[in-house]
């Protein structure tokens, strides 16, 4: 069974979705850069060991990331999951986990990378929004896309109502991506596009996250 370490910064609803999805993985630890993250209590309630590394106590990003990597590597994970992790990671850190670190991002990448995606979507009058699970690369929010889900933007939406609609889909696609990884079904092609191995699905076919479990 593959071993997973999850990194969080706050609420932890994506973490909870992972912990409750019955995935064929061992969640070895949950680590937060924010000692106050409510998600740490969710981990403990599921019997998962936690660690907190307050980034404000480190002189620079390199030192923080080095300490973070030391905490992660204790568990020898096959996969590192950024489940609502809010600190940009250095190239050195990202390269250490190349091909085995994924992120859930609240937009349909490559549109709306970075922070405050819901506010930007509303400001632009965009009608379709969503979320993306992708492999993490040094260029933030630009790694190979594993799975996406779309939601409508409705008239009268606030940031909060839109975020809630997207979050519901995050909770579906993040566990699904982890399952695919655990099953060894994700292959990144030479072209940097993710191929889902098995069941006749391959690059070029649409894998809709609202379809039945694949
Ligand atoms: N690091 C790398 N190198 N590559 C990615 O793709 C990453 C990453 C670190 C985090 C998540 C990402 C998101 O899904 C993620 C992807 C934080 C920021 C940010 O600006 C941007 C993108 C993401 C996460 N963080 C501020 C910083 O100075 C702090 C913001 C805060 O603390 O609220 O690090 O959106
Ligand atoms: C989620 O919407 C996640 O996509 C987003 O933060 C929220 C965390 O919620 N991540 C980012 O914006 C990364 N910069 P959660 O703590 O309840 O999972």
Structural domains for the chain: 1-97 (3.40.50.170), 105-214 (3.40.50.170)
- In angstroms, the CA 83 to CA 152 distance is 23
- Using the Cα atoms of residue 172, residue 178, residue 88 and residue 37 in order, give the sign of their dihedral: positive
pLDDT-derived band at 200, boundaries 50, 70, 90: low
Q: Are 93 and 68 in contact (CB under 8 A)?
A: yes
Is the confidence at residue 117, as pLDDT, over 90?
yes
Cβ contacts of 200 within 8 Å, gap of 6 or more: none
Nearest partner of 98 among 68, 55, 143, 142, judged by Cα: 143
Burial class (CB in 10 A: 0-12, 13-18, 19+), 178: buried
Q: Mind listing the pLDDT tens digit for each residue in 146-157? A: 999 999 999 999
What integer pLDDT is reported at residue 197 of this predicted model?
Answer: 87
- Ligand 1 contact via 95 beta carbon (within 6 Å): no
**Ligand 1 atom 15: the closest Cα is on which residue?**
88
CA distances from 32 to 72, 82, 197 (A): 11, 10, 32
Q: Which of 55, 120, 129, 141 to mutate to test the pocket of ligand 1 (most atoms within 8 A of CB)?
A: 141
What 3-state class would DSSP assign to 201? Answer: coil
Is the confidence at residue 202, as pLDDT, over 60?
no
Q: What angle do CA 60, 63, 66 make, to 5 degrees?
A: 145
Is the confidence at residue 67, as pLDDT, over 60?
yes
Q: What is the mean pLDDT of the chain?
A: 94
Q: Is 171 annotated as catalytic?
A: no
């Amino acid at each position: 069974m593959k071993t997973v370490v999850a990194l969080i910064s706050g609420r932890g609803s994506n973490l909870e979705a992972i912990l409750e999805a019955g995935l064929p993985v061992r969640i070895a630890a949950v680590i937060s850069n924010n000692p106050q993250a409510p998600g740490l209590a969710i981990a403990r309630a599921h019997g998962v060991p936690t660690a907190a590394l307050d980034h404000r106590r480190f002189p620079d990003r390199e030192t923080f990331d080095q300490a973070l990597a030391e905490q992660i590597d204790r568990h020898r994970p096959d996969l590192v999951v950024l489940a609502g992790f809010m600190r940009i990671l250095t190239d050195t850190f990202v390269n250490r986990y190349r091909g085995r670190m994924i992120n859930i991002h609240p937009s349909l990448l490559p549109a709306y990378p970075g922070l405050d995606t819901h506010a930007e979507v509303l400001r632009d009058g965009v009608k379709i929004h969503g979320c993306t699970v992708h492999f993490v690369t040094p260029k933030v929010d630009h790694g190979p896309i594993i799975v996406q889900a779309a939601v409508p933007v409705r008239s009268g939406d606030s940031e909060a109502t839109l975020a809630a609609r997207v979050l519901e889909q995050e909770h579906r696609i993040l566990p699904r991506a982890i399952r695919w990884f655990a099953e060894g079904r994700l292959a990144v092609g030479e072209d940097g596009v993710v191929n889902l191995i098995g069941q006749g699905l391959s690059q070029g076919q649409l894998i809709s996250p609202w379809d039945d479990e694949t």
